[in-house]
Amino acid sequence: MNRQDFEGAAKLYSKIIDESKLKEKSNFKVLYKRAVAYYSEQDFDRALKDVGQFIEQFPESAQPRILRALIGRQKQDEAGQLTDVQKAIDLGNSNPQLIYWRGTLLLAKGEYENAKKDFLNIKQLNDDAELETNLANTYRALEKTDSAFACLNKAIVLDVNYPASYIYAGVYCIEDENFPLAVKYLDLALRLNSENHTALLYKGIALVKLEKKDQGCSCLQKALDAGEEDAADYLKEFCYDVFK
């Protein structure tokens, strides 16, 4: 269905709702369908209102919680997402993608041990580069650097075309002041996409730290030109003659 189809569906559901006035509990099922239609046409505020009303009537239904979590993702509401994802799991939905989603939210929240448990549980079922990279970030936050690099290197083996694993490895190397190794990882990311502004930013920082100012400043300028706003501050700090 395209956007116009969902708009038409929402209008039809609205007509049914107006006629029923939601007098019966069963009428709320149409409200949920309208919430899905609103979500599909990216009208997230109205979708959120409808699904919230539906959840009030059917609090033990897992699927509406997932829909509200998806809306929360679009509205960048991490706390709301975690609440609804957790409730959906508590209600019996053990879909691995839901467990993984919870893990990413726990990682963002700083609940690293709980995030690690979710990632390790999912790893037993299916492993991929994104999972290994998130697990690496969890280990890094837990100050288990060797485990973090092991995960990043595993991510690279699983998918040589996944750029995030190279970038995080480069960032960790910069934080550990291992600048030559940082450049190697970031060069691998740039082989995938020579205009990756994040990789250009961190490669520029590493090169400047290696006292290769001209090359480093060139990378930082390319990063800025590619849309990496943070590069401006590093250019001011390291590349004074750029602003003379």
The DSSP secondary structure of 53-73, one letter per residue, reads HHHHH-TT-HHHHHHHHHHHH
Give just the sign of the alpha carbon dihedral 169, 171, 176, 182.
positive
Mean pLDDT over each residue of the chain, to the nearest integer: 95
User: Looking at the domain assignment, is residue 147 inside a domain?
Assistant: no
- What integer pLDDT is reported at residue 6 of this predicted model? 82
Look at residue 20 and tell me if it is in a domain.
Answer: yes
Distances 184 to 53, 133, 160, 225 between C-alpha atoms, Å: 53, 18, 14, 22
Is 129 domain-assigned? no
Task: Say whether pLDDT at 236 is over 70.
Answer: yes
pLDDT of 4 reads: 59
What's the average model confidence in pLDDT over 12-40? 92
- Smallest CA-to-CA distance from 112 within 103, 120, 121 is with 103
In a domain, 126, yes or no: no
- 62 lies in some domain: yes
**Long-range contacts for 213-221 (Cβ within 8 Å, ≥24 apart)?**
213/238, 213/239, 217/242
pTM over 0.75: yes
What does the pLDDT read at residue 242?
Answer: 46
pLDDT > 60? residue 2? no
Range of the domain at 81: 1-93
Position 27 in a domain: yes
Smallest CA-to-CA distance from 202 within 162, 214, 222 is with: 222
- Residue 77 in domain: yes
Evaluate whether residue 50 is within a structural domain. yes
Arithmetic mean of pLDDT, 68-79: 98
Q: What is the pLDDT of residues 53-70, one digit of tens each?
A: 999 999 999 999 999 999
pLDDT at 243: 46
CB 136 within 8 A of CB 168: yes
* CATH (domain of 49): 1.25.40.10
Total domains in the fold of the chain:
1
